Amino acid sequence: MKILKLLNKKSLSIFFFLLIIFSTSLQSEEEPVDIWKLEKEVEENNSDEILKNDEFNEDDNEINNSNLNSSIDIIDSNLLSEKENIVGLYDPEENGLNIDMWLNSDGNEIKLILNKISKMSLSKDSKEILDIALLTNSYFPNNNISEEEFVDFKLNYLIMNNNNDLIKLYLIKNESSIYNSKLIKFYINSFLENADLENACEIFDNLNYIEDNYINKLNIYCLINQNNREEAQLLFDLKKETGFKDDFFEDKFNFLMGYNEDSDKISDENILNFFLSHRTNPNFSYKPDKNTPKFIWKYLSSTNLLENIDSIDLEDSENISLIEQATHEKNYEEEELFELYKRFQFNINQLLNVKESYKLLQNYEGRALLYQRLILTKDVNELLDLSYKLKQSFKKDNLENAFNKKLKEILSFIDEDEVPSNYSSFYSKNISTQKLKKKKTKINNKIIHQSKILKYFEEENDINKTQEDLDKLLKSIKKNKDYIVSTKDLILLESLISDGIEVKKKYKNMFKFDQSIIPTDLQMLLNNNEVAMILLRLVEIIGEDDLESLDADTLYFMTSILNVLNLDLIRNKLLLKVLPLKI
């Protein structure tokens, strides 16, 4: 009983959970138990068989009955929650959606469009809509797609965006999902690659027991590191009882627990093994090569284990090429690479005739020569020419990202007005982007879609006030015989009408609303109430563009669709991006 007092709530659940596994598997020697069949096994065994133990007295039986019933309740609760076909991050009401937004959609169509979207470099506007479509709590689609396939699209989306705060929130809100292992591994690995053990371990404070060896191995290490050795030992023993075998990890575990005096094995099979290799070997040393995985480079960089620039042999072309590649992949600092370039020795003729001399050298030596000459000049034309040639050299060897930060730094010393026309494009593309000031919306009551009516979509005016303002505006517009109604005017007015604001009869002849503007395929989705699929189609249509760059007709049918679906919150965000004049 002493060890049980040391267990936290999570470990108690684990203990009782596996206690049931052992009791239901006594007749089958030590075969691993399928935990997802546990519920069925519990039902098939009567209470006398489960609790039968001659060594227990009646009081002990009563206690065990209570513990087992509590444990079964926990398991039943988890299994029930796992059977719920709802996973997501946002409540549907947040964006005017509903929980069955996917039910009418065909899985083959979903897979087709999501695979297509995944290959696009989506704009910020597209991502905002995709974020809503994929991460809103909803039932799974029923046809031609499995739950696992559908959830996998959500997980891949989170992984692609690489936002650990968002991933953590998703994992906490969907902690009972049986599909989370992939996302948890990505989350903890992203921290381990940066040698950030604290944040990697912190996720276990928010998650229940996960039946995944990789995740549990880190959990065990975290418990040891937090000096919770009894819990670590218990979890390790429980894993062993279920058939777990990993010689490398067992060696590290025994060393960390003090059972072995040394452990110098090194494994780069995955980041956890490499992390443990480093943490358990005081004389750890590792020299990466061209086949070394990116996560190893990242870890070596994060822990200052990469070879010191000053000690690198300038004759070792393979090693220097590795450093250039690592810099391109952001595992070496650009500053370090260019400090290395400064160590090369060139004669005065090479420096003076740099534009021809660098072509006669090995590629990395040519880049070193270009850089050395570059930092010696102050002439704007020469600065731009040498910078351009150096960038092209990197690009030619697929190392373009190795010269981003440094290039921006060099160009920042050049006034834009001094840049010759033949370098203007190169300059503007690579100069440090200044933080844009937030533009203000300019109200122009002579144009319908730029008028103060826009305040309604900012939720600053109620319907009655907006109706009053609209009547006054249309009265004024009608007097202007030269006013030409634009598509953006129609977009605004149709959205107001959708919300119950009236365009009075005397003004209706001023406008011609096009009811057939919605494309046929989208109209079919509307007819079938395939709300989520419509959102995916809008993402596909916007694609890599910003909303502001779309033509007015496209914006018109998009807002018409959102009006039909009553997705006012999404629509309002769209309108406020494309209608107002901003200065």
pLDDT tens-digit profile of 125-135?
Answer: 999 999 999 99
- Given a cut of 80, whether residue 440 has pLDDT beyond it is no
Q: Which of 194-208, 507-521, 539-553 has the lowest mean pLDDT?
A: 507-521
What local confidence, expressed as pLDDT, does residue 25 receive? 44
Give the model's confidence band at 78: pLDDT under 50 very low, under 70 low, under 90 confident, else very high.
very low
Q: Which of 27-41, 256-270, 417-431 has the lowest mean pLDDT?
A: 27-41
The residues near 402 (Cβ < 8 Å, ≥ 6 apart) are: 324, 327, 328, 334, 337, 394
pLDDT digits (tens, 9 = 90+) for 347-373: 999 999 999 999 999 999 999 999 999
Query: CA-based diameter of the chain, in Å?
Result: 100
pTM: 0.75
In angstroms, rounded to a whole number, what is the distance separating the alpha carbons of residues 272 and 290? 21
Rounded to the nearest integer, the mean pLDDT of the chain is: 84
What local confidence, expressed as pLDDT, does residue 291 receive? 87
What local confidence, expressed as pLDDT, does residue 85 receive? 63
pLDDT digits (tens, 9 = 90+) for 464-493: 999 999 999 999 998 888 899 999 999 999
Give the model's confidence band at 59: pLDDT under 50 very low, under 70 low, under 90 confident, else very high.
very low
Alpha helices, DSSP H only, in 291-403?
Answer: 294-302, 317-328, 334-341, 348-352, 354-357, 363-374, 380-396
Vertex 26 angle, CA 24 and 28, to 5°: 100
Burial of 209 (0-12, 13-18, 19+ CB in 10 A): buried
pLDDT digits (tens, 9 = 90+) for 158-171: 999 999 999 999 99
What local confidence, expressed as pLDDT, does residue 331 receive? 83
Give the model's confidence band at 245: pLDDT under 50 very low, under 70 low, under 90 confident, else very high.
very high
In angstroms, rounded to a whole number, what is the distance separating the alpha carbons of residues 320 and 260? 39
Region 398-412: mean pLDDT is: 93
Give the model's confidence band at 208: pLDDT under 50 very low, under 70 low, under 90 confident, else very high.
confident
| Single-letter amino acid, residue 536 | L
- Given a cut of 80, whether residue 523 has pLDDT beyond it is yes
What local confidence, expressed as pLDDT, does residue 73 receive? 42
What local confidence, expressed as pLDDT, does residue 173 receive? 92
How many CB atoms are closer than 10 A to CB 130? 23
In angstroms, rounded to a whole number, what is the distance separating the alpha carbons of residues 470 and 460? 15
Token code pair at residue 134: 């994929």
